[in-house]
Amino acid sequence: MRSWQRMFAAVMRLLLKCLRLGRRRRFKLVRQVEQLWHYGQLCLHSLLYNSFTNGDVVLDSLFEPIYWLVDHVTRWFGVVFVALVIGLTSSIVAIVYICLLPLILQTYTPGWICWHLAYGHWNLIMIVFHYYMAITTSPGHPPQAKDNLTGVSICRKCIAPKPARTHHCSICNRCVLKMDHHCPWLNNCVGHYNHRYFFSFCLFMTMGCIYCTISGWEMFRDAYAAIERMKLLEKERLQVAANQTYYQTPPPAFSFRQRAFHKSVVYLWVLCSSVALALGALTLWHAALITRGETSIERHINKKERQRLQKKGKVFRNPYSYGSWDNWKVFLGVDVPRHWLTRVLLPSPHLPHGTGLSWDLPPCVTEQRTPLLAI
C-alpha cells in the first residue's frame, strides 16, 4: 500500500513539474512576443519622430530585408562570377588560337599577320594584367584608430573613422577609401587603389571585343551560312534515308571538325559583340565620371547637393575635380609625358596619387582647384 502511495506521489510531483515547465515556456514565449512588439513600435516611432524623414527613408526601411538578401547573395556568388569571366575569356582565346590563327596565317598578307599578332597579344596581356590586379589589389581601408586623422567623421555601421570620399560597403562589411561600387565580377570593391585597374580592364576588354567583332565579321557570315546549309542538307538526308535501307543511308555532308569550327566562330562573334555593347556602355559611363572627377556614389551625392544649392541661388563646385584633362592625368597617374607609354599603354603597377585619407593637390595638376561653393 505504501509503495502505491509513493508511486502516486512521484507521478503527481512529475506532473506538477511539467505544468510549471510548460507555464515557464508560455511566459517566455509571451515575453518574446512582447519584446518584438515593442521593438516594432520603436522602429515605427523612429521613422515618424525624425523631422528629416521622407518617402525615400521609409522606402529604404521597407526594402532593408531585400537589400540584406542581395548583399549576401552577391558576396557568395562573387567567386562564381569571377570563374565565369575567366571561363568565357579563356574559351574565346582558345577559339582564336585553335580555329582563327591558322586561317589567318594561311590567308592574310604578312603585314596583316604582323598587325593581328602584335595587337591581339598586346590587348590580351593588358586584359589579363588589369583583371588580375583588380581582383587581388585591396581597394584600401581607413585605419581603425583616429590617430593623425583630421576632419573625419565616424561610420555609423563599423564605428570607425571615415575620411573624405570613404563609404561603407555592406557586402564587404568594411569602409572603403574612395569607394566607387562593389563589383561582383571582381568579387571585390572598386576603391582608391584598384579603381584604375578596374577601368583599364573594362576599357581593354571592350577594345578586344570590338577588335574580334570587326575582324571576324566575314568569318561569322560564312560560318552562319555554312550552319544553315548544314541544317538544310541534314533535313534532306533524313528525308532520303527514310525511303532507303540502312546500308543505303548517305554519309553526313559535313564532318565533326567542320561543324565545331563554324559553331565556334558564331559563338565567338555573338559573345564578343554582346560584351562589347554592354561593357562598352559601362566604360563610357565611368569615363564620364572620371572626366568630372567623381565616383558612382559621389555622382548621386553631388547631384542632390547641386539641387539643394541651386534653390538657394548658389553653384556647387566639386572640390575633387581639377578640370577634365587634369582629372584623367590624376586618375591614370601621368606625371610626365613618358608616363602615357609606360603607365597607360603598358602594364604598370604604380600606386595612385595620395593615400586616400587626405586629398592634397597632386603635382601633375597645373591649375588650382575651384572652391567648394560659389555664390
Q: Which residues form the catalytic set? A: 183
Half-sphere exposure of 171 (CA within 13 A, CB side): 19
CA angle 225, 270, 123 (to 5 degrees): 120
Q: What's the chain's Rg over C-alpha atoms?
A: 32
**Long-range contacts of the stretch 343-352 (C-beta < 8 A, 24+):** 347/125, 347/126, 347/129, 347/130, 349/133, 351/193, 352/192, 352/193, 352/195, 352/196
How many other CB atoms sit within 10 Å of the CB of residue 91?
14
Q: How far is CA 104 from CA 77, 211, 239, in A?
A: 39, 14, 38
CA distance 133 to 193: 10
Q: How many residues does the chain have?
A: 375
**Paired residues of 162 in beta bridges:** 153
Query: Which residue's entry shows cell 587626405?
Result: 358
Task: Tell me how far apart the alpha carbons of residues 297 and 60 are, in angstroms, rounded to a whole number.
Answer: 16
Phi-psi region of 153 (alpha: psi -120 to 50; beta: other; left: phi over 0): beta
SS (H, E, C) 319-365: CCCCCHHHHHHHHHCCCCCCHHHHHHHCCCCCCCCCCCCCCCCCCCC
What is the per-residue DSSP string for 55-76?
HHHHHHHHTHHHHHHHHHHHHH
| Dihedral sign, Cα of residue 317, residue 367, residue 200, residue 76 | negative
